[in-house]
């Protein structure tokens, strides 16, 4: 059986961020790709570009078996009709536009979609939801800084895709985020929570395998079968 091809929208990297490179670049962190490889998939890294939501996004996704949305900086709060909090960081408008458009197209196609951290938030906003722009509770780590991750527990609702994928109803996960899902997008439901009540997992109603995880399963998947199983289940769906 051929390896499923997974679309992976990349991080834009500004000129000068990579030593010795004269021009801007794009990248996908290795741990996501390694988790896909262990699950038997092949990645295709996509540069963020302007897409027409009605046609071009669907044409892009026709070439792929699944879509993986990665972590990263914050979405522009104007995407969900809010003023920007002073703690919002790392906004890249072209990345927001590209990923939101792809997420909507993937949902419309019924394509398997795994959305991680920022991606989890992109999925929610793409379907009309909102975000809490800065958490007032501790224990979720600090994004965008070395050593900012932390481990904490999540409770997963039995009978959900997330529970079936991970094989557990409680897990220790790695997080480094300061935002979270607030109002759920259309058709989405919360399926996992931190002990403080922060929504850590979402799923789309219906038959399509569309799952969001607020934590970073790729960070520990190499040594934690529970986290690797999430990628395994995602890639298995890409075979269908």
Dist CA 234 CA 25 (whole Å):
28
Residues found in the chain? 240
Q: Which residues are catalytic?
A: 117, 216, 218
Look up residue 172 and give its DSSP letter.
Answer: E
Dist CA 165 CA 163 (whole Å):
5
Count of CA atoms in the C-beta half-sphere (13 A) of 155: 7
C-beta of residue 184 within 8 angstroms of C-beta of residue 129: yes
Dist CA 238 CA 65 (whole Å):
5
Pairing of strands 66-69, 5-9: parallel
Supply φ then ψ for residue 189, to 5 degrees.
-135, 150
C-beta of residue 46 within 8 angstroms of C-beta of residue 94: no
Supply φ then ψ for residue 225, to 5 degrees.
-60, -30
Dist CA 38 CA 213 (whole Å):
19
């Amino acid at each position: 059986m051929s390896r499923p091809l997974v679309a992976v929208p990349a991080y834009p990297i500004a000129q000068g961020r990579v030593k010795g490179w004269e021009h801007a670049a794009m990248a996908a962190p290795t741990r996501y790709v390694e988790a896909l490889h262990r699950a038997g998939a092949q990645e295709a890294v996509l540069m963020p570009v302007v897409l027409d939501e009605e046609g071009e996004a669907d044409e892009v996704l026709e070439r792929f078996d699944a879509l993986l949305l990665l972590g990263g900086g914050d979405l522009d709060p104007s995407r969900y009709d809010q003023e920007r909090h002073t703690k919002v960081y790392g906004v890249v408008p072209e990345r927001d536009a590209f990923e939101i458009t792809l997420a909507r197209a993937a949902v419309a196609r019924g394509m398997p979609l795994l959305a991680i951290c920022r991606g989890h938030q992109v999925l929610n906003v793409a379907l009309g939801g909102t975000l809490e722009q800065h958490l007032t509770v501790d224990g979720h780590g600090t994004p965008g800084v070395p050593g900012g991750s932390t481990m904490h527990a999540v409770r997963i609702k039995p009978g959900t895709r997330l529970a079936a994928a991970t094989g557990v109803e409680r897990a220790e996960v790695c997080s480094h985020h300061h935002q979270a899902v607030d109002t759920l997008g259309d058709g989405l439901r919360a399926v996992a929570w931190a002990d403080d009540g922060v929504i850590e997992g979402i799923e789309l109603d219906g038959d399509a395998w569309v799952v969001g995880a607020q934590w970073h399963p790729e960070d520990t998947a190499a040594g934690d079968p529970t986290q690797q199983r999430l990628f395994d289940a995602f890639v298995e769906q890409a075979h269908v």
